[in-house]
Structure 1
Amino acid sequence: MENTVFADSPRGRQLQAFNRLLDILDDLREKCPWDRKQTLQSLRHLTIEETYELSDAIMRNDIPELKKELGDIMLHMVFYAKIASELKAFDLADVLNAQCDKLIFRHPHIYGDAKAETEEQVKQNWEQLKLKEGNKSVLGGVPVSLPALVKAMRIQEKARGAGFDWEKKEQVWEKVEEELSEFKSEFNMVAPEELDREKATGEFGDLLFSLVNFARFIDINPEEALERTNLKFIRRFQFLETESAKDGKNLRDMNLEEMDSYWEKAKKSE
Protein backbone atom coordinates (compact mmCIF):
# COMPACT_ATOMS: atom_id res chain seq x y z
CA MET A 1 0.00 0.00 0.00
CA GLU A 2 1.37 3.41 -0.98
CA ASN A 3 2.45 5.55 1.96
CA THR A 4 0.57 8.80 1.29
CA VAL A 5 1.39 11.82 3.47
CA PHE A 6 -1.46 14.31 3.79
CA ALA A 7 -0.55 17.98 4.10
CA ASP A 8 -2.70 18.47 7.19
CA SER A 9 -1.24 15.44 9.02
CA PRO A 10 1.53 15.88 11.62
CA ARG A 11 4.10 14.36 9.22
CA GLY A 12 2.81 16.50 6.35
CA ARG A 13 3.19 19.69 8.42
CA GLN A 14 6.70 18.65 9.43
CA LEU A 15 7.72 18.08 5.82
CA GLN A 16 6.20 21.42 4.78
CA ALA A 17 8.10 23.23 7.53
CA PHE A 18 11.36 21.49 6.59
CA ASN A 19 10.82 22.36 2.91
CA ARG A 20 10.15 25.97 3.94
CA LEU A 21 13.46 26.08 5.78
CA LEU A 22 15.27 24.76 2.70
CA ASP A 23 13.61 27.38 0.48
CA ILE A 24 14.49 30.22 2.87
CA LEU A 25 18.10 29.08 3.10
CA ASP A 26 18.32 28.96 -0.70
CA ASP A 27 17.11 32.58 -0.80
CA LEU A 28 19.50 33.72 1.92
CA ARG A 29 22.46 31.98 0.36
CA GLU A 30 21.76 33.79 -2.89
CA LYS A 31 20.70 37.22 -1.67
CA CYS A 32 22.12 37.91 1.82
CA PRO A 33 25.76 39.12 1.96
CA TRP A 34 26.38 37.46 5.36
CA ASP A 35 24.84 34.09 4.47
CA ARG A 36 26.56 34.10 1.07
CA LYS A 37 29.95 34.61 2.74
CA GLN A 38 29.72 31.65 5.17
CA THR A 39 31.92 28.56 4.82
CA LEU A 40 32.19 25.25 6.64
CA GLN A 41 35.00 26.77 8.70
CA SER A 42 33.26 30.04 9.53
CA LEU A 43 30.15 28.27 10.81
CA ARG A 44 32.06 25.83 13.04
CA HIS A 45 32.53 28.04 16.12
CA LEU A 46 28.95 29.29 15.82
CA THR A 47 27.67 25.71 15.82
CA ILE A 48 29.67 24.94 18.96
CA GLU A 49 28.15 28.01 20.65
CA GLU A 50 24.64 26.98 19.57
CA THR A 51 25.22 23.47 20.93
CA TYR A 52 26.14 24.85 24.34
CA GLU A 53 23.07 27.09 24.28
CA LEU A 54 20.95 24.01 23.56
CA SER A 55 22.62 22.25 26.47
CA ASP A 56 21.85 25.21 28.75
CA ALA A 57 18.17 25.12 27.77
CA ILE A 58 18.01 21.41 28.56
CA MET A 59 19.70 21.90 31.94
CA ARG A 60 17.20 24.64 32.83
CA ASN A 61 14.31 22.56 31.48
CA ASP A 62 13.35 25.68 29.52
CA ILE A 63 11.06 24.18 26.87
CA PRO A 64 10.38 27.41 24.89
CA GLU A 65 14.13 28.08 24.76
CA LEU A 66 14.72 24.44 23.78
CA LYS A 67 12.47 24.88 20.75
CA LYS A 68 14.41 27.99 19.72
CA GLU A 69 17.82 26.37 20.13
CA LEU A 70 16.75 23.24 18.23
CA GLY A 71 15.77 25.52 15.36
CA ASP A 72 19.20 27.15 15.41
CA ILE A 73 20.93 23.77 15.36
CA MET A 74 18.66 22.57 12.55
CA LEU A 75 19.56 25.62 10.50
CA HIS A 76 23.25 24.93 10.95
CA MET A 77 22.91 21.31 9.86
CA VAL A 78 21.00 22.33 6.73
CA PHE A 79 23.54 25.11 6.08
CA TYR A 80 26.47 22.68 6.12
CA ALA A 81 24.69 20.39 3.67
CA LYS A 82 23.90 23.36 1.43
CA ILE A 83 27.55 24.42 1.30
CA ALA A 84 28.63 20.82 0.62
CA SER A 85 26.19 20.60 -2.28
CA GLU A 86 27.71 23.77 -3.75
CA LEU A 87 31.11 22.10 -3.47
CA LYS A 88 29.69 19.10 -5.37
CA ALA A 89 30.52 16.88 -2.40
CA PHE A 90 27.06 15.76 -1.23
CA ASP A 91 23.61 17.18 -0.60
CA LEU A 92 21.05 16.95 2.19
CA ALA A 93 19.43 13.85 0.70
CA ASP A 94 22.81 12.08 0.80
CA VAL A 95 23.22 13.05 4.46
CA LEU A 96 19.78 11.84 5.50
CA ASN A 97 19.92 8.62 3.49
CA ALA A 98 23.37 7.80 4.88
CA GLN A 99 22.03 8.33 8.38
CA CYS A 100 19.02 6.13 7.70
CA ASP A 101 21.28 3.40 6.32
CA LYS A 102 23.50 3.62 9.40
CA LEU A 103 20.55 3.40 11.78
CA ILE A 104 19.25 0.32 10.00
CA PHE A 105 22.70 -1.30 9.97
CA ARG A 106 23.26 -0.59 13.68
CA HIS A 107 19.86 -1.98 14.69
CA PRO A 108 19.95 -5.54 13.37
CA HIS A 109 17.73 -6.54 16.31
CA ILE A 110 15.02 -4.39 14.68
CA TYR A 111 15.79 -4.71 10.97
CA GLY A 112 17.54 -8.07 10.96
CA ASP A 113 17.88 -11.37 12.79
CA ALA A 114 20.11 -10.29 15.69
CA LYS A 115 18.91 -10.51 19.29
CA ALA A 116 19.19 -7.70 21.82
CA GLU A 117 16.81 -7.80 24.76
CA THR A 118 18.55 -5.21 26.93
CA GLU A 119 20.11 -1.78 26.53
CA GLU A 120 23.50 -3.28 27.39
CA GLN A 121 23.26 -5.83 24.58
CA VAL A 122 22.34 -3.06 22.15
CA LYS A 123 25.42 -1.05 23.15
CA GLN A 124 27.69 -4.08 22.77
CA ASN A 125 26.27 -4.73 19.30
CA TRP A 126 26.90 -1.09 18.36
CA GLU A 127 30.58 -1.25 19.20
CA GLN A 128 31.08 -4.44 17.21
CA LEU A 129 29.20 -3.00 14.25
CA LYS A 130 31.28 0.18 14.34
CA LEU A 131 34.41 -1.93 13.99
CA LYS A 132 32.86 -3.54 10.91
CA GLU A 133 32.26 -0.04 9.51
CA GLY A 134 36.00 0.55 9.48
CA ASN A 135 36.83 1.88 12.95
CA LYS A 136 40.24 0.48 13.89
CA SER A 137 39.63 0.89 17.60
CA VAL A 138 36.59 0.80 19.87
CA LEU A 139 37.78 4.17 21.17
CA GLY A 140 38.37 5.59 17.71
CA GLY A 141 34.95 7.22 17.61
CA VAL A 142 35.57 9.42 20.66
CA PRO A 143 36.14 12.99 19.37
CA VAL A 144 39.53 14.38 20.34
CA SER A 145 38.06 17.83 21.05
CA LEU A 146 35.41 16.67 23.55
CA PRO A 147 35.62 18.33 26.99
CA ALA A 148 37.70 16.07 29.23
CA LEU A 149 34.87 15.12 31.61
CA VAL A 150 32.54 14.12 28.77
CA LYS A 151 35.39 12.32 27.02
CA ALA A 152 36.14 10.25 30.13
CA MET A 153 32.53 9.14 30.27
CA ARG A 154 32.42 8.24 26.57
CA ILE A 155 35.72 6.32 26.78
CA GLN A 156 34.40 4.26 29.66
CA GLU A 157 31.06 3.61 27.95
CA LYS A 158 32.78 2.41 24.79
CA ALA A 159 35.20 0.20 26.74
CA ARG A 160 32.22 -1.33 28.52
CA GLY A 161 30.60 -2.01 25.17
CA ALA A 162 33.65 -4.08 24.29
CA GLY A 163 33.39 -6.02 27.57
CA PHE A 164 36.21 -4.19 29.36
CA ASP A 165 34.70 -3.04 32.64
CA TRP A 166 34.33 -3.71 36.34
CA GLU A 167 31.68 -6.22 37.37
CA LYS A 168 30.33 -4.46 40.46
CA LYS A 169 30.10 -0.85 41.61
CA GLU A 170 31.75 -1.85 44.90
CA GLN A 171 34.92 -2.63 42.95
CA VAL A 172 34.80 0.80 41.35
CA TRP A 173 34.35 2.52 44.71
CA GLU A 174 37.36 0.64 46.07
CA LYS A 175 39.33 2.11 43.17
CA VAL A 176 38.06 5.60 44.03
CA GLU A 177 39.16 5.19 47.64
CA GLU A 178 42.52 3.82 46.53
CA GLU A 179 43.15 6.79 44.21
CA LEU A 180 41.99 9.29 46.85
CA SER A 181 44.19 7.74 49.51
CA GLU A 182 47.23 7.79 47.22
CA PHE A 183 46.62 11.39 46.25
CA LYS A 184 46.09 12.53 49.84
CA SER A 185 49.09 10.69 51.29
CA GLU A 186 51.49 11.91 48.63
CA PHE A 187 50.33 15.42 47.83
CA ASN A 188 48.66 16.67 51.01
CA MET A 189 51.78 16.24 53.09
CA VAL A 190 54.28 18.45 51.30
CA ALA A 191 54.73 22.18 51.07
CA PRO A 192 53.31 23.67 47.85
CA GLU A 193 56.75 24.65 46.60
CA GLU A 194 57.92 21.03 46.94
CA LEU A 195 55.00 19.60 44.97
CA ASP A 196 55.75 17.61 41.83
CA ARG A 197 53.02 19.26 39.80
CA GLU A 198 53.39 16.96 36.81
CA LYS A 199 52.92 13.87 38.94
CA ALA A 200 50.18 15.50 41.04
CA THR A 201 48.26 16.43 37.89
CA GLY A 202 48.46 12.86 36.64
CA GLU A 203 47.29 11.40 39.93
CA PHE A 204 44.45 13.90 40.24
CA GLY A 205 43.38 12.92 36.73
CA ASP A 206 43.32 9.26 37.84
CA LEU A 207 41.11 10.22 40.79
CA LEU A 208 38.66 12.13 38.59
CA PHE A 209 38.56 9.29 36.07
CA SER A 210 37.68 6.80 38.80
CA LEU A 211 34.93 9.09 40.11
CA VAL A 212 33.47 9.38 36.61
CA ASN A 213 33.58 5.60 36.43
CA PHE A 214 31.64 5.22 39.68
CA ALA A 215 29.09 7.83 38.60
CA ARG A 216 28.49 5.81 35.45
CA PHE A 217 27.91 2.66 37.50
CA ILE A 218 25.17 4.31 39.55
CA ASP A 219 23.65 5.97 36.46
CA ILE A 220 24.72 9.54 37.19
CA ASN A 221 25.91 11.73 34.34
CA PRO A 222 29.01 13.44 35.81
CA GLU A 223 28.89 16.32 33.35
CA GLU A 224 25.29 17.07 34.28
CA ALA A 225 26.03 16.64 37.98
CA LEU A 226 28.93 19.09 37.87
CA GLU A 227 26.95 21.61 35.82
CA ARG A 228 24.10 21.48 38.34
CA THR A 229 26.59 22.23 41.09
CA ASN A 230 28.04 25.08 39.00
CA LEU A 231 24.57 26.61 38.59
CA LYS A 232 23.82 26.12 42.29
CA PHE A 233 27.06 27.86 43.26
CA ILE A 234 26.27 30.76 40.91
CA ARG A 235 22.78 31.19 42.41
CA ARG A 236 24.10 31.19 45.96
CA PHE A 237 27.02 33.50 45.23
CA GLN A 238 24.79 35.99 43.43
CA PHE A 239 22.41 35.86 46.42
CA LEU A 240 25.39 36.66 48.65
CA GLU A 241 26.33 39.62 46.42
CA THR A 242 22.79 41.00 46.20
CA GLU A 243 21.79 40.61 49.84
CA SER A 244 25.04 41.91 51.27
CA ALA A 245 24.79 44.94 48.97
CA LYS A 246 21.27 45.58 50.31
CA ASP A 247 22.82 45.70 53.79
CA GLY A 248 25.40 48.22 52.59
CA LYS A 249 28.28 45.78 52.65
CA ASN A 250 31.07 45.20 50.14
CA LEU A 251 32.33 41.66 49.60
CA ARG A 252 35.95 42.77 49.69
CA ASP A 253 35.46 44.22 53.15
CA MET A 254 33.69 41.16 54.57
CA ASN A 255 35.38 38.26 56.35
CA LEU A 256 34.61 34.63 55.59
CA GLU A 257 32.30 34.27 58.60
CA GLU A 258 30.12 37.16 57.39
CA MET A 259 30.00 35.73 53.88
CA ASP A 260 29.08 32.32 55.22
CA SER A 261 26.02 33.73 57.01
CA TYR A 262 24.65 34.96 53.68
CA TRP A 263 25.61 31.65 52.08
CA GLU A 264 23.50 29.78 54.61
CA LYS A 265 20.59 32.13 53.94
CA ALA A 266 20.97 31.41 50.22
CA LYS A 267 20.76 27.66 50.90
CA LYS A 268 17.63 28.11 52.99
CA SER A 269 15.98 30.24 50.30
CA GLU A 270 16.20 27.49 47.66
Structure 2
Amino acid sequence: MPETSAPAEALLRLLATMARLRDPVGGCPWDQVQSFETIAPYTIEEAYEVADAIRRGDRPALLDELGDLLFQVVYHARMAEEEGIFSFTDVAESIHRKMVSRHPHVFGDESARSAAEQTTAWEAQKAQERAARAETGTLAGIPPALPALMRANKLTRRAARVGFDWPDAGAVLDKLEEEAAELRAELPAADPTRLADEVGDLLFVLANLARKLDLDPEECLRGANAKFTRRFEAVESRLAAQGQSPADAGLEAMEAEWQAVKAAERGGA
Protein backbone atom coordinates (compact mmCIF):
# COMPACT_ATOMS: atom_id res chain seq x y z
CA MET A 1 0.00 0.00 0.00
CA PRO A 2 1.47 3.41 -0.96
CA GLU A 3 2.36 5.77 1.84
CA THR A 4 -0.06 8.59 2.62
CA SER A 5 1.28 11.93 1.40
CA ALA A 6 1.91 14.79 3.81
CA PRO A 7 -1.02 16.88 2.44
CA ALA A 8 -3.36 13.88 2.73
CA GLU A 9 -2.23 13.20 6.29
CA ALA A 10 -2.76 16.84 7.26
CA LEU A 11 -6.22 16.82 5.73
CA LEU A 12 -7.15 13.56 7.47
CA ARG A 13 -6.09 15.09 10.80
CA LEU A 14 -8.25 18.13 10.11
CA LEU A 15 -11.24 15.99 9.18
CA ALA A 16 -10.75 13.96 12.37
CA THR A 17 -10.55 17.17 14.42
CA MET A 18 -13.82 18.38 12.90
CA ALA A 19 -15.51 15.06 13.62
CA ARG A 20 -14.31 15.21 17.23
CA LEU A 21 -15.63 18.75 17.67
CA ARG A 22 -19.05 17.71 16.37
CA ASP A 23 -19.17 14.45 18.34
CA PRO A 24 -22.51 14.42 20.20
CA VAL A 25 -20.92 12.85 23.29
CA GLY A 26 -17.44 14.27 23.80
CA GLY A 27 -17.45 17.18 21.38
CA CYS A 28 -17.48 20.93 21.89
CA PRO A 29 -20.90 22.19 23.11
CA TRP A 30 -20.71 25.20 20.78
CA ASP A 31 -19.76 23.21 17.69
CA GLN A 32 -22.37 20.54 18.42
CA VAL A 33 -25.28 22.95 18.00
CA GLN A 34 -24.13 24.79 14.87
CA SER A 35 -25.91 24.50 11.52
CA PHE A 36 -25.30 25.51 7.92
CA GLU A 37 -27.20 28.73 8.60
CA THR A 38 -25.22 29.70 11.70
CA ILE A 39 -21.83 28.87 10.16
CA ALA A 40 -22.45 30.60 6.82
CA PRO A 41 -21.64 34.12 8.13
CA TYR A 42 -18.28 32.86 9.41
CA THR A 43 -17.56 31.34 6.00
CA ILE A 44 -18.14 34.69 4.31
CA GLU A 45 -16.05 36.48 6.93
CA GLU A 46 -13.13 34.09 6.48
CA ALA A 47 -13.19 34.56 2.70
CA TYR A 48 -12.93 38.31 3.19
CA GLU A 49 -10.07 37.87 5.64
CA VAL A 50 -8.20 35.84 3.02
CA ALA A 51 -8.72 38.67 0.53
CA ASP A 52 -7.57 41.22 3.10
CA ALA A 53 -4.34 39.31 3.80
CA ILE A 54 -3.64 39.18 0.06
CA ARG A 55 -4.35 42.87 -0.34
CA ARG A 56 -1.95 43.71 2.52
CA GLY A 57 0.72 41.41 1.13
CA ASP A 58 0.86 39.63 4.50
CA ARG A 59 1.91 36.08 3.59
CA PRO A 60 2.04 34.71 7.18
CA ALA A 61 -1.50 36.02 7.70
CA LEU A 62 -2.53 34.46 4.38
CA LEU A 63 -1.33 31.07 5.61
CA ASP A 64 -3.45 31.43 8.72
CA GLU A 65 -6.52 32.77 6.91
CA LEU A 66 -6.42 30.05 4.25
CA GLY A 67 -6.46 27.51 7.06
CA ASP A 68 -9.50 29.20 8.57
CA LEU A 69 -11.25 29.14 5.19
CA LEU A 70 -10.40 25.48 4.63
CA PHE A 71 -11.84 24.73 8.05
CA GLN A 72 -15.11 26.30 6.92
CA VAL A 73 -15.29 23.90 3.97
CA VAL A 74 -14.56 20.99 6.29
CA TYR A 75 -17.21 22.25 8.73
CA HIS A 76 -19.97 22.37 6.11
CA ALA A 77 -18.93 19.01 4.66
CA ARG A 78 -19.06 17.42 8.11
CA MET A 79 -22.57 18.71 8.78
CA ALA A 80 -23.68 17.45 5.36
CA GLU A 81 -22.15 14.04 6.08
CA GLU A 82 -24.04 13.87 9.38
CA GLU A 83 -27.25 14.44 7.44
CA GLY A 84 -26.29 11.80 4.88
CA ILE A 85 -26.20 14.32 2.01
CA PHE A 86 -22.55 14.29 0.93
CA SER A 87 -19.04 14.10 2.41
CA PHE A 88 -15.81 16.04 2.09
CA THR A 89 -14.68 13.43 -0.44
CA ASP A 90 -17.73 14.21 -2.55
CA VAL A 91 -16.89 17.94 -2.38
CA ALA A 92 -13.31 17.32 -3.51
CA GLU A 93 -14.38 14.95 -6.30
CA SER A 94 -17.03 17.38 -7.49
CA ILE A 95 -14.64 20.30 -7.91
CA HIS A 96 -12.04 17.95 -9.45
CA ARG A 97 -14.50 16.82 -12.12
CA LYS A 98 -15.60 20.39 -12.78
CA MET A 99 -12.05 21.68 -13.27
CA VAL A 100 -11.16 18.81 -15.61
CA SER A 101 -14.35 19.43 -17.60
CA ARG A 102 -13.67 23.16 -17.88
CA HIS A 103 -10.07 22.68 -19.04
CA PRO A 104 -10.23 20.25 -21.99
CA HIS A 105 -7.19 22.01 -23.49
CA VAL A 106 -5.20 20.81 -20.46
CA PHE A 107 -6.76 17.43 -19.67
CA GLY A 108 -8.10 16.51 -23.12
CA ASP A 109 -6.98 16.55 -26.72
CA GLU A 110 -7.72 20.17 -27.52
CA SER A 111 -4.85 22.52 -28.32
CA ALA A 112 -3.78 25.16 -25.84
CA ARG A 113 -5.82 28.36 -25.77
CA SER A 114 -4.84 31.92 -25.06
CA ALA A 115 -6.09 33.51 -21.85
CA ALA A 116 -8.83 35.36 -23.75
CA GLU A 117 -9.94 32.21 -25.58
CA GLN A 118 -9.97 30.29 -22.32
CA THR A 119 -12.17 32.94 -20.68
CA THR A 120 -14.68 32.64 -23.53
CA ALA A 121 -14.62 28.86 -23.36
CA TRP A 122 -14.95 28.95 -19.57
CA GLU A 123 -18.07 31.10 -19.79
CA ALA A 124 -19.53 28.82 -22.46
CA GLN A 125 -18.90 25.79 -20.24
CA LYS A 126 -20.54 27.47 -17.26
CA ALA A 127 -23.54 28.35 -19.45
CA GLN A 128 -23.86 24.67 -20.38
CA GLU A 129 -23.69 23.71 -16.71
CA ARG A 130 -26.40 26.24 -15.84
CA ALA A 131 -28.58 24.86 -18.64
CA ALA A 132 -28.09 21.35 -17.29
CA ARG A 133 -29.38 22.61 -13.93
CA ALA A 134 -32.39 24.15 -15.71
CA GLU A 135 -31.08 27.64 -14.91
CA THR A 136 -32.11 29.62 -17.98
CA GLY A 137 -31.75 33.28 -18.89
CA THR A 138 -28.83 35.65 -19.21
CA LEU A 139 -28.65 36.36 -15.48
CA ALA A 140 -29.11 32.78 -14.27
CA GLY A 141 -26.68 31.44 -11.69
CA ILE A 142 -25.57 34.75 -10.15
CA PRO A 143 -26.03 34.09 -6.41
CA PRO A 144 -28.42 36.52 -4.65
CA ALA A 145 -26.30 36.19 -1.49
CA LEU A 146 -23.28 37.94 -3.04
CA PRO A 147 -22.36 41.34 -1.60
CA ALA A 148 -24.65 43.84 -3.30
CA LEU A 149 -21.97 45.81 -5.17
CA MET A 150 -20.31 42.61 -6.35
CA ARG A 151 -23.64 41.23 -7.56
CA ALA A 152 -24.47 44.48 -9.36
CA ASN A 153 -21.12 44.22 -11.14
CA LYS A 154 -21.76 40.60 -12.16
CA LEU A 155 -25.36 41.25 -13.23
CA THR A 156 -24.40 44.09 -15.54
CA ARG A 157 -21.35 42.28 -16.92
CA ARG A 158 -23.63 39.41 -17.86
CA ALA A 159 -26.20 41.77 -19.43
CA ALA A 160 -23.43 43.56 -21.34
CA ARG A 161 -22.51 40.30 -23.07
CA VAL A 162 -25.82 40.40 -24.93
CA GLY A 163 -25.50 44.09 -25.77
CA PHE A 164 -27.51 45.61 -22.90
CA ASP A 165 -25.01 48.25 -21.79
CA TRP A 166 -24.07 51.92 -21.89
CA PRO A 167 -21.71 52.83 -24.74
CA ASP A 168 -19.05 54.34 -22.47
CA ALA A 169 -18.29 55.70 -19.00
CA GLY A 170 -19.47 59.16 -20.01
CA ALA A 171 -22.97 57.83 -20.64
CA VAL A 172 -22.95 56.18 -17.22
CA LEU A 173 -21.97 59.51 -15.63
CA ASP A 174 -24.94 61.12 -17.36
CA LYS A 175 -27.17 58.44 -15.86
CA LEU A 176 -25.56 59.04 -12.47
CA GLU A 177 -26.50 62.71 -12.64
CA GLU A 178 -30.05 61.75 -13.61
CA GLU A 179 -30.37 59.39 -10.64
CA ALA A 180 -28.88 61.99 -8.28
CA ALA A 181 -31.51 64.49 -9.46
CA GLU A 182 -34.28 61.94 -8.85
CA LEU A 183 -32.98 61.33 -5.34
CA ARG A 184 -32.82 65.07 -4.65
CA ALA A 185 -36.45 65.40 -5.79
CA GLU A 186 -37.50 62.79 -3.21
CA LEU A 187 -35.78 64.52 -0.26
CA PRO A 188 -38.65 66.91 0.66
CA ALA A 189 -41.21 64.09 0.98
CA ALA A 190 -38.70 61.92 2.86
CA ASP A 191 -40.59 58.71 2.08
CA PRO A 192 -38.26 55.93 3.32
CA THR A 193 -39.35 53.49 0.62
CA ARG A 194 -38.82 55.98 -2.20
CA LEU A 195 -35.52 57.18 -0.77
CA ALA A 196 -34.25 53.60 -0.46
CA ASP A 197 -35.27 52.94 -4.05
CA GLU A 198 -33.47 56.01 -5.37
CA VAL A 199 -30.33 55.41 -3.29
CA GLY A 200 -30.31 51.85 -4.61
CA ASP A 201 -30.50 53.13 -8.18
CA LEU A 202 -27.62 55.51 -7.48
CA LEU A 203 -25.44 52.74 -6.06
CA PHE A 204 -26.30 50.45 -8.98
CA VAL A 205 -25.22 53.07 -11.49
CA LEU A 206 -22.00 53.65 -9.53
CA ALA A 207 -21.27 49.92 -9.75
CA ASN A 208 -21.74 50.19 -13.51
CA LEU A 209 -19.42 53.17 -13.70
CA ALA A 210 -16.71 51.19 -11.94
CA ARG A 211 -17.23 48.32 -14.38
CA LYS A 212 -16.96 50.59 -17.41
CA LEU A 213 -13.69 51.93 -16.00
CA ASP A 214 -12.41 48.35 -15.44
CA LEU A 215 -12.50 48.85 -11.68
CA ASP A 216 -13.85 46.57 -8.96
CA PRO A 217 -16.55 48.52 -7.07
CA GLU A 218 -15.94 46.50 -3.91
CA GLU A 219 -12.24 47.36 -4.03
CA CYS A 220 -13.05 51.01 -4.70
CA LEU A 221 -15.29 51.16 -1.65
CA ARG A 222 -12.76 49.29 0.50
CA GLY A 223 -10.19 51.88 -0.51
CA ALA A 224 -12.57 54.69 0.41
CA ASN A 225 -13.28 53.03 3.75
CA ALA A 226 -9.58 52.71 4.47
CA LYS A 227 -8.97 56.34 3.51
CA PHE A 228 -11.81 57.56 5.73
CA THR A 229 -10.54 55.45 8.65
CA ARG A 230 -6.99 56.74 8.22
CA ARG A 231 -8.05 60.37 8.02
CA PHE A 232 -10.57 60.26 10.84
CA GLU A 233 -8.09 58.58 13.15
CA ALA A 234 -5.61 61.33 12.25
CA VAL A 235 -8.25 63.93 13.13
CA GLU A 236 -8.75 62.24 16.50
CA SER A 237 -5.00 62.25 17.12
CA ARG A 238 -4.69 65.93 16.26
CA LEU A 239 -7.59 66.82 18.53
CA ALA A 240 -6.19 64.66 21.34
CA ALA A 241 -2.92 66.61 21.10
CA GLN A 242 -5.03 69.69 21.84
CA GLY A 243 -6.72 68.00 24.79
CA GLN A 244 -10.01 67.55 22.94
CA SER A 245 -12.24 64.67 21.89
CA PRO A 246 -14.21 64.76 18.61
CA ALA A 247 -17.50 65.17 20.48
CA ASP A 248 -16.13 68.09 22.49
CA ALA A 249 -14.49 69.81 19.51
CA GLY A 250 -17.64 70.03 17.40
CA LEU A 251 -18.19 69.76 13.65
CA GLU A 252 -16.44 72.99 12.64
CA ALA A 253 -13.21 72.08 14.42
CA MET A 254 -13.32 68.51 13.13
CA GLU A 255 -13.82 69.76 9.57
CA ALA A 256 -10.83 72.09 9.94
CA GLU A 257 -8.64 69.22 11.14
CA TRP A 258 -9.99 66.99 8.36
CA GLN A 259 -8.94 69.52 5.74
CA ALA A 260 -5.53 69.81 7.42
CA VAL A 261 -5.08 66.03 7.28
CA LYS A 262 -6.05 65.98 3.60
CA ALA A 263 -3.62 68.79 2.82
CA ALA A 264 -0.82 66.97 4.67
CA GLU A 265 -1.51 63.79 2.65
CA ARG A 266 -1.41 65.66 -0.64
CA GLY A 267 1.82 67.32 0.37
CA GLY A 268 3.39 63.99 1.24
CA ALA A 269 3.79 65.01 4.87
Q: TM bucket by the smaller chain?
A: 0.7 to 0.9
Give the percent of matched residue pairs that are identical in Structure 1 and Structure 2.
32
Pick closer, same or farther for the CA change 1:76–1:191 going to 2, 3 Å. Answer: closer
Say what the alpha-carbon RMSD is for the aligned residues: 3.1
**Partner residue of 2:12?**
19
Instruction: Name which of 66, 90, 94 aligns with 1:94.
Output: 90
Higher mean alpha-carbon deviation, 36-45 vs 171-180, is at 36-45
Name the CA distance, whole Å, in 1 between partners of 2:22 and 2:186: 61
**Partner residue of 1:125?**
124
Report if aligned partners of 1:176, 1:210 keep a CA contact under 8 Å in 2. yes
**Partner residue of 2:159?**
159
Higher mean alpha-carbon deviation, 21-30 vs 249-258, is at 249-258
Structure 2: stretches of 5+ with no match in the other structure: none
Name the CA distance, whole Å, in 2 between partners of 1:191 and 1:87: 51
Instruction: Name which of 228, 239, 250 aligns with 2:234.
Output: 239
Q: Report Cα offsets for 1:9-66 as digits up to 9, x if no partner.
A: xxx3322322221232233333323333333333223323333433433343333222
Name the CA distance, whole Å, in 1 between partners of 2:40 and 2:228: 31
Residue 221 of structure 2 corresponds to residue 226 of structure 1: yes
Pick closer, same or farther for the CA change 1:20–1:261 going to 2, 3 Å. Answer: same
Report if aligned partners of 1:106, 1:129 keep a CA contact under 8 Å in 2. no
Instruction: Name which of 41, 45, 48 aligns with 2:41.
Output: 45
Report if aligned partners of 1:29, 1:36 keep a CA contact under 8 Å in 2. yes
**Partner residue of 2:261?**
266
Structure 1: stretches of 5+ with no match in the other structure: none
Equivalent positions of 1:206-225 (< 5 A) are 206-225=201-220
Higher mean alpha-carbon deviation, 95-104 vs 33-42, is at 33-42
Pick closer, same or farther for the CA change 1:183–1:45 going to 2, 3 Å. Answer: closer
Q: Report Cα offsets for 1:167-214 as digits up to 9, x if no partner.
A: xx8x232332321332344444x5832466655544443343333223
Higher mean alpha-carbon deviation, 107-116 vs 146-155, is at 107-116
Pick closer, same or farther for the CA change 1:210–1:115 going to 2, 3 Å. Answer: farther
Equivalent positions of 1:108-123 (< 5 A) are 108-112=104-108, 113=110, 116-117=113-114, 118=116, 120-123=119-122
Q: Give the total of aligned pairs.
A: 258
Q: Report Cα offsets for 1:221-250 as digits up to 9, x if no partner.
A: 110110111011011101111220121123
Note the C-alpha offset of 1:141.
1.4
Pick closer, same or farther for the CA change 1:130–1:115 going to 2, 3 Å. Answer: farther
